[in-house]
Structure 1
């Protein structure tokens, strides 16, 4: 409790969103970070204190300190020096193994009587495209989903390797051209969360950000209705313009999306599939 209070005081001027978790995955990851840090401090703090104590205790002016120039070994000291770090390493190893499986980004999150929402994510230069295949809509630099509903992401890139990350919800995961990966998130807190690119990707990287909006079911339905009233459709031809490199891109909505768009983006880098490749746009 005391260490947590001291940490909060020291970091009061900082905004560490990764430790201000609002989702079940983010909360578990924050807890893991804290537990690992506290475990390592069990060694770090005593070492620092003992270093200062020894420097003071055995200073040249202290004639009362024992002087033993031929001292070479202490079994008790060896046990302490090796046993405590070994125990901590064993603890961290078991903790890491356990949480690695529990927090596997490919592991689906299930909520009883709640149907997950599917979102296809495309990392572009320098913006994010979110496609809702079941709803037939898409958005640029804005992600919306209902609170308490599992979100199943399929993620790829139509540019260099990138990294999809919503710090308060957890689970950073890489996006690579010609490949697709998965991620599953859930939050029980409504809010407007920062989404970022966590992997340097060139000139516009610093502004490659988006907002993740967790909202009530009614508000999400209203958001979907607003997107469906947008004047633009996201066909392959329109996508070619969206994919061109651009910076500080404003939120943009598409009321209708080519259902094969995401798969075509992935397939365009598959040189063995010349038919699909011929039908796909090339990057601007």
Structure 2
């Protein structure tokens, strides 16, 4: 399976963001002929404050029903190019709360998966900037999976990557690759981005596909920056594809034989069973 991670520089203009995403996906498809493309986190909106986020939000239909502009664009691109489109995440209108939600569409336009971000980004950055995702967004509670070319992929979003227990559960339930669409801040990204993605690949022995936003955006009169460096990591922890600065994409071949070889040579799941038994015994 060939997979392309798309790197965007989105802002608060939803129509412009949709156009940018479409152009990048179509360029990646034309150049690299991937089976799967994946977009960054909240690619329909970045910046502009609460009003801009609510304006960008979409009510999601029942599977098979008609959705909003981003929903229909993703479904249409999947169908038009005969590929699987993992829509990073968009802002879902959940009524009182918004949700940071992944949508996945198969080559015939069928919706394959939805995932609401579980871990919300409520932190204070080293420069004192506060981020309070929970002030506007609700948290998800369910895991989500889909398949491409016989490979089982699990869904996460951005801050989820700091919680290895989630990734271990995805592996336990059969994931061979895990997607991490992101808007990593520049400050956290320069120190933690690649280290975290490689760590999750190594400790789950899964491929990690992380499409990210790049560049600067305006938020309530201040300029904020996101790190970019969209990448693909193999199950041994090697970065096998990475975007340069700016918008674009990177493509890699996701090879199940590599996954099998890594897992056979170092059978972590068997060893974890022993560790779990030891912990359970120690707790009694």
Normalised by the size of structure 2, how large is the TM-score? 0.25
Normalised by the size of structure 1, how large is the TM-score? 0.25
Structure with greater strand percent: 2
> Which one has a bigger Cα radius of gyration?
1
